[in-house]
Structure 1
Amino acid sequence: MLIVNLLDRPEHLPALAAAHVQAFGGLLPDWTVAQAEAELRAQQRDAIPCSWLVEDGQGWLGSVSLLHDDHEQIRGWSPWLASLYVQPRARGMGVGAALVRHCVAQAAALGVSTLYLYCEAPMVPWYQGLGWRVHAELQLGPLAITVMEIRTRQD
Structure 2
Amino acid sequence: MSGGIARSRLAEERKTWRKNHPHGFVAKPEIKPDGSVNLMVWHCIIPGKIGTDWEGGYYPLTLIFCEDYPSRPPTCKFPNGFFHPNVYASGNVCLSILNAGWRPSITVKQILVGIQDFLDQPNPSSPANQDVCQLYVQNSNEYQKRVQQQARKYPQTL
Structure 2 length as normaliser, TM-score? 0.32
Structure number with higher relative contact order (C-alpha < 8 Å, ≥ 6 residues apart): 2
Task: Pick the structure with more strand per residue.
Answer: 1
Structure 1 length as normaliser, TM-score? 0.33
